[in-house]
Amino acid sequence: MSDNEPVIELRNVDKSFGPIDVLHEISLKVRAGEVLCLLGDNGAGKSTLIKTLAGVYQPTSGDIVMDGEKTTLKGPRDAQSRGIATVHQFGGTYPLMSIGRNFFMGMEPTKGIGPFKVFDRKKANRIAVEEVQKMGITRITNGDRLVGGLSGGERQSLAIARAVYFGARVLILDEPTAALGVKQAAHVLRIVNLAKRRGLAVIFITHQVMHAMAVGDHFAVLIRGAIAADFRKGEKTREEIADLMAGGESMADLEANIDTYMETHDGHPPQPVT
């Protein structure tokens, strides 16, 4: 926790797709050297939220603030060039392409003069292999190998290695441990901790309480597109967090939350998603 200013902040962000409102009035802050765990049931809007942070979607209203300044993320590459790197929930790798080409997708290193830019295969392969090996996948030694030949866990590690490499400021991981075995999941958690110690702001989405407890400094619970709870490490017990992650709390808590929501939102309750 190097300083107090959040690296990235959402202020009253709404996101709707045509008539479908997915996110309501989301306000969140992530500081350098801090892990924000985003919790919530399936369909709560977690992926939509991080896609907004990754530049894939533009907020319908509200602001994204980086280092205290309002920012428009024009697209994923714009976000990436500002040091925001994301591992999305699904896909992220291309099975019939080489490891080197996968790693640098959209951010290809080139060499050559003028308009005749050539994809720098050697450089891409070298960096990709180095970074993937740092993730503990020492089996990968040749960047020309097709990604289709890797296991699910190895592919996920490749996607994470890529984000760690490009994410200079903010690292966003959307359910990165879902497809992984116990050992590899532990490794991902170690990477999250490492990134945090290096001073990155990390946003981590998971469904596993143990994983959230292991790395989270700060927790936000999303219910039907609105922030229903926002608390710091130690403020709630494991059981309470587990309840929250199961999508709802005990009924009493839920009602209490709606009350607080209404207090902070001019008296209207969280709108149901159609």
Partner 1 sequence: MTDTTTTGGSGASPDPAPTSTSFSLGSLMRSPAAGAFMGFALVFVAFALFGYERNFLSISGVSTWVNFASSVGMIAIPVGFLMIAGELDISVGAVLPASSMTVAIASGYYELPIMVGILAALSVGALIGWVNGMIVTRTQVPSFIVTLATLFAVAGLTLSLSILFINTTQTSLNAPEWAKSLFGGRALGGFRSSVFWWLGMIGVFVYFLHYSPWGNWVFALGGDQESARNAGIPTRRLKIGLFMLCSTSTAFAGVLQTIQFNSATSQANFGMIFNTIIAVVVGGALLTGGFGTVMGIVFGALTLGVVQQGIGYTEIDRNLSFLIIGVMLLVAVLMNETFRKLATNWSTSKKK
Burial status of residue 149 (CB atoms within 10 A of its CB: 0-12, 13-18, 19 or more): exposed
Beta carbon nearer to partner 1, 27 or 151: 151
| Region of residue 191 (phi > 0: left; psi between -120 and 50: alpha; otherwise: beta) | alpha
Asked if residue 16 binds Mg ion (CB under 5 A), the reply is no
Q: How many residues bind ligand ADP (CB under 6 A)?
A: 12
- Binding residue for Mg ion, selected from 21, 36, 47, 191, defined by CB under 5 A: 47
Q: Find which of ligand ADP, Mg ion, partner 1, none residue 48 binds, CB within 5 to 8 Å per kind.
A: ligand ADP
Asked if residue 48 binds ligand ADP (CB under 6 A), the reply is yes
Closest CA to 159 of 141, 127, 135, 130: 135
- Binding residue for ligand ADP, selected from 4, 19, 42, 114, defined by CB under 6 A: 42
Asked if residue 98 binds Mg ion (CB under 5 A), the reply is no
Beta carbon nearer to partner 1, 147 or 226: 147
Asked if residue 184 binds Mg ion (CB under 5 A), the reply is no
Asked if residue 206 binds ligand ADP (CB under 6 A), the reply is no
Q: Find which of partner 1, Mg ion, ligand ADP, none residue 264 binds, CB within 5 to 8 Å per kind.
A: none
Using CB under 6 A as the criterion, which residues of the chain lie in contact with ligand ADP when the complex forms?
17, 20, 22, 40, 42-48, 273
